[in-house]
Amino acid sequence: MIDTQAIRKKILDLAMRGQLTEQCPEDGTAEELFQKIQEEKKSLIKCGKVKKDKAFSESPVFKPYPFDIPKNWKFVRFGELMINRDSERIPVSVADRRKRKKLYDYYGASGVIDGIDDFLFDKDLLLIGEDGANLLARSSPIAFIASGKYWVNNHAHVLDVCSGTDMRYICRYINAISLEKYVTGSAQPKMNQENMNAIWVALPPYNEQQRIVEKIDQAFSVLDTIDSLQAQYADNLTALKAKLIDAAIQGKLTEQLPEDGTAEELYEKIQEEKQALIKAGMIKKEKSLSEITADEIPFKIPEHWKWCRIGEIFTLQAGKNIATGSIQDHPDKDNQYPCYGGNGLRGYVNQFNVNGLHALIGRQGALCGNINFASGEFYATEHAVVVYEYSGTNMQWAGLTLRALNLNQYATSVAQPGLAVNKINKVLIPLPPLAEQKRIAQKIDELMPLFEK
């Protein structure tokens, strides 16, 4: 099973070191941002909207920078970034809370405790719990964002950010680092205001803060999908892998990027290439396929993907018959070409009829519809359907998707099941842009070995 918690921890660690995102010169520098933040804080203090911060600790234990960061970032103290809203808190007793109706969330050190019918805050604020159990056990986030209208008790620090600081980035950062050295006390550990202000924060330019949050959210969304699948199929690794591939071909494991273009654009290029090859007599003109109706669509796909029929984006060609006696179990000087049938490699022969990287669809027997790959010069028998791609369509993605479509269900129900090419051509397939096809194939290549571990 995949240890998603370890992966989350690694993602956060890379993100906070600037190793998850690109540093762009046009973003400016964190030093420029920091100076603007200081000016804004002084202005707020001067007009009496916030109180002046308490001084942060100068203890030697806090002095060294905790890790390396990009040149355009800057290490700053937490207290230099945040606006402290502590003075606005009003504790409410448990007995008093229980008498009231649950209309507004009530926050403590570890998040929502229960509800209350009055409220104190009415904007998004960062809350940092100070109870030792949450700080040291790390079993739940100790920094979280509250929004809307809610009460806060005296076990949470309530903070706001200046313009140019993304509260989501600060929340992710606090939950990514170790806070043990900022905690005082042993019987009842707490993090006081002075120590909290002393926390080193790796500050990127504002645009990069947003890119980091987007990258983390996208990665965590994938891990949430994996968590959900692992919970459902914990006792069936084969089913779990199949469901993960299903999620991949539905666009749930990869990021959709505007610069990829659209599947519609790719589809048009494929049609142009096929028409040119037909005109040149290199491939035969195929029968027209019916338009796709809404009732046929089996699941939702990203907006810039496209539903197609297999025969619209690929050419499927059955291999040629070859005498069984001509197939050798092992290669020799006369029989050097791999020979593939419906269930994969059969042996070696003295000729080839296909060249390149191709997915092969088995078309005969109980396992018809299974997918194999062959590359280089090889021989495909009549029991293997060779998949030919156009316009750079990624063959690894094609094989994954064809496997997930469970083509066996379209086999004829006779004593010797078989798959007709014209039937496969009619099956629906979700088409992503080329760049995302590659990301899907790469993501599956990365994840599958983790299941074995």
Judge whether 44 lies within some domain: yes
Judge whether 151 lies within some domain: yes
**Residues 334 and 387 occupy one common structural domain:** yes
For residues 2-30, average pLDDT: 89
Q: Structure tokens of 275?
A: 């028409």
Domain boundary among 189, 220, 251: 220
**Residue 434 confidence (pLDDT) above 90:** yes
**Residue 390 confidence (pLDDT) above 90:** yes
Identify the domain containing residue 45 by its residue range. 4-220
What is the C-alpha separation between 401 and 246, in angstroms, rounded?
8
**Residues 273 and 136 occupy one common structural domain:** no
**Residues 327 and 414 occupy one common structural domain:** yes
Exposure letters 424-452 (e unless 16+ CB within 10 A, then b): bbbbbbbbbbbebbbbbbebbeebeeeee
CA distances from 105 to 86, 111, 150 (A): 18, 9, 5
Judge whether 226 lies within some domain: no
**Residues 197 and 281 occupy one common structural domain:** no
**Residue 96 confidence (pLDDT) above 70:** no
**339-352 tens-digit pLDDT:** 999 889 999 999 99
pLDDT score, position 178: 75
**Residue 189 confidence (pLDDT) above 70:** no
What is the C-alpha separation between 341 and 372, in angstroms, rounded?
10
The contacts of residue 309 (CB under 8 Å, 6+ apart) are 289, 292, 425, 426, 427, 428, 429
Judge whether 242 lies within some domain: no
The CATH number that applies at residue 389 is 3.90.220.20
- Closest of 228, 51, 217 to residue 145, by C-alpha: 217
**Residues 209 and 313 occupy one common structural domain:** no
**Residues 63 and 203 occupy one common structural domain:** yes
The contacts of residue 396 (CB under 8 Å, 6+ apart) are 373, 441, 445
- Give the SS3 label for residue 374: strand
Judge whether 33 lies within some domain: yes
Q: Amino acid identity, residue 303?
A: E
**101-117 tens-digit pLDDT:** 555 565 555 565 555 55
pLDDT score, position 151: 65
pLDDT score, position 41: 85
Judge whether 234 lies within some domain: no
**Residues 147 and 269 occupy one common structural domain:** no
More confident residue, 64 or 232: 232
pLDDT score, position 135: 37
Place of tokens 């990069």: 208
- Whole-model pTM: value is 0.65
Q: Considering its fold, how many domains does the chain have in total? A: 2
**241-259 tens-digit pLDDT:** 888 899 999 999 898 899 9
**Residue 141 confidence (pLDDT) above 50:** no
